[in-house]
C-alpha cells in the first residue's frame, strides 16, 4: 500500500518546502470547517502526493468502516465489541447494538448525571458539613487523563466546586490532594468500569479511611462511575450514586459519558452539553464530507505521510494555550494506546511502523526547553502547532498577540531555517573574524525544511474543546484503518498489570517469589532490605 508513496518520497526527499509555494498553495493545502482552520502547507506534500494519500483511504475502505463504527457494528474484533463513544454525545436518533437501540439508556444516564451535577452545584445535595466545596476524582488512564485535561482546559467556565484528580498509586498523590480539604464538604468520585482497578481502588480505600475520620458514614459522600453494581454496593455506595456505562465505551474514549461527571460538576449542565455538541458536530463533519475537505482525514493523512512513509518516529503536539497543557498527555494515551500495535486485525505482523511516539508541551515554555532539538537536532520531528484566534482575557490581548506571533514564528523558522551566509553575517556583526567567524557561524545555522502543521481554533470554549477532542479521536481511527489496526483494544497494558499483581506479595514478604528472574529478585531485595 505504501510502496508508491515511498518511491515518491525518495524522489522529493531533498526538495525545499519553500519551492512548493505557488499563488494558491497556502489556500489549497488547508481545511476549514465550523471555525477550525488546519494548515498543512508547510509539509513536503505536493498535489501528486496528496492524490496518492487520498487513494489510501479508498484502498483501506474507510467509508465502509466509518459507517460500521457509527452504526454500532462490532468493529473491536478482539473483544467482540461495538465502538460507540460517538453515541455518548448524540442528542437524538437511534444506534442499534445486538438488535437493541442503545440511545434511550444513553440519554437517560446523561439526564440523571446532569441532574445530579446541577443539584450538587445548587446546594440541594450536600455533604455532612453543608454544600460541597471540593470534588476528588479517583481514576487512572482514561478515567483520569480525559476529565483532568478538560477541567484545566475549561477553567474559565468552572463555577462549581473545585475538582482535584488522583491517579497515581504512589501514596504521595492522594495524600497531597486530600491535604487541606474538609472531608465534610468533599465528594469523592471513584471511576472504574469494573471497580477492580487496583490503583484506583487502593486510592479509594485510602480516601474512605480519611473521610471516615470526620464523617460518620463516609461512603455516603462517594460516587461510583462503574458497571459493577455488586462491588460498588459492597463498598457502601448507594445505587442512586452509581453511574454506569456500556462495554462499547473504551476508557480513553469515555469522557463524554459518566466519566465526565467531574467536568459536569465544575462547568454545569449547559456547558457540558455544549461540549458534547462540539464533538457531535465534528462527528457530523467526519461522516458527511469526503476527501481533502475532511479535517480528521487530512490530519491523519499528514500523520501517515510523516510516520509511515517518511519514517519520522515521533511527532510533537504544541498547543499555544496554557489551559491545554495536559492535551499532549491526553493524546499520548489516545494515540499510542490505540495505534501502538505490532499486529494487524488479520493477526499478522505489520509491515510498516505503527503509531508514532506522541509528545509535547504548551508554548511558549517549550521554546526555552526542547525546541533547540526541534530546530537544530539531528532528528526531524514533525510539529503540530495549535493556537486560538482569541483568548479569555480581553484586557491582555497584547499578550495573546505575542503568543500568536511566537506560534507562527516557530513554524516559519522550521521551514525557512537560516543558511550559512546569513549566519556568517551575524557572526561578523559580533566582531568575529577568520576561522573563528566560520566556527561561530556554523553554530547559528538552521537547516530548516522541517515540516509542521498549524491548527487555528476560534476560542477554547466547551464547544470548541469537544470539537478538538473528537477531531483527534477520528484522526486515530483513520490512521488505524489505513494501517489495518484495531484501534480500540489495549492488550499491551495487560502483562505488566498481571506481573505487578504477582509481585505484590513478593515485595511484602508474603511469598518468596522464586519463580522470578534473578534481576527482578535482586531488585526486590534492594527495595526491601537496602
Q: Strands, DSSP E only, in 313-416?
A: 314-320, 357-359, 383-388
b/e per residue 478-503 (b: at least 16 CB within 10 A): bbbbbbbbbbbbbeeeeeeeeeeeeb
Q: Which residues pair with 43 in a beta bridge?
A: none
Active site residue 379: no
DSSP state of 288: H
Q: CA dihedral defined by 149, 150, 153, 154, rounded to 10 degrees?
A: -150
| Helices marked H in 99-197 | 103-122, 142-153, 171-178
Tell me how far CA of residue 329 lies from CA of 152, 170, 325, in angstroms: 13, 19, 8
* Angle formed at CA 155 by CA 151 and CA 157, multiple of 5 degrees: 105
Burial tier of 366 (Cβ tally within 10 Å: 0-12, 13-18, 19+): buried
Q: How far apart are CA 371 and CA 163, in angstroms?
A: 33
**C-alpha cell at position 111:** 439526564
8 Å CB contact between 90 and 280 = yes
Active site residue 430: no
DSSP-assigned letters across all residues of 298-338: HHHHHHHIIIIII---EEEEEEE-GGGTTHHHHHHHHHHHH
From 337, 384, 473, 479, active-site residue: 337
Active site residue 58: no
8 Å CB contact between 258 and 139 = no
Q: Which residues pair with 185 in a beta bridge?
A: none
The SS3 call for residue 364 is coil
From 58, 115, 155, 497, active-site residue: 497
Of 504, 338, 466, 346, nearest in space to 35 by CA:
466
Q: How far apart are CA 432 and CA 426, in angstroms?
A: 9
From 368, 398, 443, 514, active-site residue: 368
Q: How far apart are CA 427 and CA 438, in angstroms?
A: 8
8 Å CB contact between 21 and 278 = no
**Residues involved in catalysis:** 337, 368, 497
Amino acid at each position: 500500500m505504501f510502496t508508491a508513496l515511498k518511491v515518491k518520497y525518495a524522489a522529493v526527499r531533498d526538495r525545499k518546502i519553500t519551492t512548493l509555494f505557488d499563488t494558491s498553495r497556502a489556500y489549497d493545502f488547508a481545511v476549514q470547517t465550523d471555525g477550525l482552520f488546519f494548515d498543512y502547507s508547510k509539509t513536503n506534500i505536493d498535489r501528486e502526493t496528496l492524490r496518492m494519500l487520498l487513494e489510501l483511504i479508498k484502498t483501506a475502505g474507510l467509508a465502509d468502516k466509518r459507517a460500521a463504527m457509527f452504526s454500532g457494528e462490532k468493529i473491536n474484533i478482539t473483544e467482540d465489541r461495538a465502538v460507540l463513544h460517538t453515541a455518548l454525545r448524540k442528542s437524538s436518533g437511534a444506534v442499534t447494538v445486538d438488535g437493541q437501540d442503545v440511545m434511550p439508556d444513553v440519554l437517560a444516564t446523561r439526564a440523571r448525571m446532569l441532574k445530579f451535577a446541577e443539584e450538587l452545584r445548587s446546594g440541594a445535595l450536600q455533604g455532612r458539613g453543608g454544600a460541597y466545596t471540593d470534588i476528588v476524582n479517583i481514576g487512572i488512564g482514561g478515567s483520569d487523563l480525559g476529565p483532568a485535561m478538560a477541567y484545566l482546559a475549561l477553567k474559565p467556565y468552572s463555577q462549581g466546586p473545585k475538582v482535584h484528580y488522583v491517579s497515581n498509586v504512589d501514596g504521595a498523590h492522594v495524600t497531597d490532594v486530600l491535604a487541606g480539604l474538609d472531608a465534610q464538604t468533599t465528594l469523592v468520585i471513584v471511576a472504574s468500569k469494573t471497580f477492580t482497578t487496583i490503583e484506583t481502588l487502593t486510592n479509594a480505600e485510602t480516601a474512605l479511611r480519611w473521610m471516615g475520620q470526620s464523617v460518620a458514614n463516609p461512603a455516603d459522600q462517594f460516587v461510583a462511575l462503574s458497571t459493577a453494581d455488586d462491588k460498588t454496593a459492597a463498598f457502601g455506595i448507594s445505587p442512586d450514586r452509581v453511574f454506569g456505562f456500556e462495554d462499547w465505551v473504551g476508557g480513553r474514549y469515555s469522557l463524554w459519558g459518566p466519566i465526565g461527571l467531574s467536568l459536569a460538576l465544575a462547568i454545569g449542565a449547559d456547558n457540558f452539553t455544549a461540549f458534547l455538541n462540539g464533538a457531535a458536530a465534528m462527528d457530523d463533519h467526519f461522516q458527511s464530507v469526503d476527501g481533502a475537505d475532511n479535517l480528521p482525514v487530512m490530519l491523519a493523512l499528514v500523520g501517515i505521510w510523516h510516520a509511515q512513509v517518511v519514517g519520522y518516529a515521533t511527532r510533537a503536539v504544541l498547543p499555544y494555550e496554557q489551559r491545554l497543557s495536559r492535551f499532549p498527555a491526553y493524546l499520548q494515551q489516545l494515540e499510542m494506546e490505540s495505534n501502538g500495535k505490532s499486529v494487524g486485525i488479520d493477526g499478522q505482523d505489520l509491515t510498516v511502523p505503527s503509531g508514532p511516539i506522541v509528545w509535547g508541551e504548551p508554548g511558549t515554555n517549550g521554546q526555552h526547553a526542547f525546541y533547540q532539538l526541534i530546530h537544530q537536532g539531528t532528528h526531524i520531528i514533525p510539529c503540530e502547532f495549535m493556537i486560538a484566534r482569541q483568548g479569555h482575557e480581553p484586557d491582555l490581548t497584547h499578550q495573546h498577540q505575542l503568543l500568536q506571533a511566537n506560534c507562527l514564528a516557530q513554524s516559519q523558522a522550521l521551514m525557512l531555517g537560516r543558511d550559512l551566509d546569513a549566519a556568517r553575517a551575524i557572526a561578523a556583526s559580533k566582531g568575529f573574524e577568520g576561522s573563528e567567524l566560520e566556527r561561530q557561524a556554523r553554530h547559528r545555522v538552521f537547516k530548516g525544511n522541517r515540516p509542521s502543521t498549524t491548527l487555528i481554533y476560534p476560542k477554547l470554549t466547551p464547544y470548541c474543546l469537544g470539537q478538538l477532542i473528537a477531531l483527534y479521536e477520528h484522526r486515530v481511527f483513520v490512521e488505524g484503518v489505513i494501517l489495518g489496526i484495531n484501534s480500540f483494544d489495549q492488550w499491551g497494558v495487560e502483562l505488566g498489570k498481571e506481573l505487578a499483581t504477582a509481585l505484590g506479595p513478593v515485595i511484602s514478604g508474603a511469598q518468596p517469589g522464586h519463580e522470578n528472574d534473578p534481576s527482578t529478585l535482586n531488585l526486590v531485595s534492594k527495595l526491601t532490605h537496602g
